[in-house]
A and B are shown apart, each in its own frame.
Chain A
Amino acid sequence: MLLEVKGLNAGYGFLQVLWDVSLYVAQGEFVALVGPNGAGKTTTLRTIAGLIPPRQGEIFFKGELISKLAAHKISQMGISFVSESLNLFTAMSVHENLLLGAYVVRDRQKQLETLDFVYHLFPRLKERRNQLAGTLSGGERKMLAIGRGMMSNPDLLLVDEPSLGLAPNLTLDVFNALETLRQQGVTILLVEQNVNTTLHITDRAYVLEQGRIALEGKSKELLENKHVKEAFLGM
Chain B
Amino acid sequence: MARSSVQSTIVFEVLRRLTTAAGITIILSVVAVIVSAVVAGPFTLVNAIVTGGMWALLAVGLSLVFGVMNIPNFAHGEFFMVGTLVSYLVFTPLHKYLRQNPSSVLSTVAPFAGIFAALLVGALLGVVVEKLIFFQLRRRSREQWVMNSFLLTVGLSVVMINGHQLLWGTNFKGIPRYWDVKPIDLFGVNISMDRAVALGLAVVTIAIFWFFLMRTRTGRAIRAVAQDETGAQMVGIDLNRIQVLTMALSSALAAMAGASLLFMFPSYPTVGLKPLYVAWYVVILVGLGNVAGATIGGFLVALLQTLTSYFIGVGWEDVVPTALIILILLFKPSGLFGSEVKGVWEQ
Tell whether A89 pairs with B224 under 8 Å between CB atoms, given A103-B217, A134-B346. Answer: yes
Q: Which residues 223-248 in B have Cβ within 8 Å of A in the complex? A: 223-224, 227-228, 230-239
Q: Which residues of B contact A91 (CB under 8 A)?
A: 223, 227, 339, 341
- Taking a contact as CB atoms under 8 Å apart, the answer to whether B236 and A76 are in contact is yes
Least distance between B132 CB and chain A CB atoms (Å):
21
Point out the residues of chain A lying under 8 angstroms from B339, CB to CB. Answer: 91
Residue in B220, B234, B237, B341 whose CB lies within 8 Å of A134: B341
Name the CB-closest residue of B to A101.
B235
Contact A100–B235 (Cβ < 8 Å): yes
Check A172 for interface membership: any CB of B closer than 8 A. no
Q: Which of A104-153 contact B (CB under 8 A)?
A: 104, 132-135, 138, 141, 148, 151-152
Q: Which range contains the number of A residues in contact with the other chain?
A: 20 to 34
Query: Could you mark each residue 7-27 of chain A with 1 if its beta carbon is under 8 Å from any beta carbon of chain B, else 0?
Result: 000000000000000000000
Chain B, interface residues (CB within 8 Å), range: 20 to 34
Residues facing A in B195-235 (CB within 8 A) are: 217, 220-221, 223-224, 227-228, 230-235
The answer on a CB contact under 8 Å between B236 and A89 is no
The answer to whether A133 touches B343 (Cβ under 8 A) is yes
From B221, B227, B233, B234, A90 is in contact (CB under 8 Å) with: B227
- Tell me which residues from 49 to 65 in chain B have a Cβ below 8 Å from any Cβ of chain A: none
Known: A88-B346, A91-B339. A72 touches B237 (CB 8 A): yes
User: In the complex, what distance in Å separates the CA atom of A13 from the CA atom of B76?
Assistant: 35
Shortest distance between the CB of B333 and any CB in chain A (Å): 19
B342 within 8 A of A: yes
| Whole-angstrom CA separation of A81 from B223 in the bound complex | 20
State whether A88 and B235 are in contact (beta carbons under 8 Å apart), knowing that A134-B342, A134-B346 are contacts in the complex.
Answer: no
Query: B235–A85 contact, CB under 8 A?
Result: no
Complex: A60 Cα to B246 Cα, angstroms: 33
Contact B227 A89 (CB under 8 A): yes
A42: min CB distance to chain B, Å: 13
By the criterion CB–CB under 8 Å, are A72 and B342 in contact? no
Residues of B within 8 A of A138 (CB): 344
Interface centre among A89, A104, A138 (most CB of B within 10 A): A89
- Assess A87 versus B341: contact at CB under 8 Å? Given A72-B239, A92-B223, A104-B236: no
Q: Which among B217, B227, B228, B234 has the greatest number of chain A C-beta atoms within 10 A?
A: B234
CA distance A83 to B235 in the complex (A): 12
Known pairs A75-B234, A92-B223. 7 more at Cβ < 8 A? A72-B238, A86-B343, A87-B228, A89-B224, A96-B220, A100-B235, A134-B343
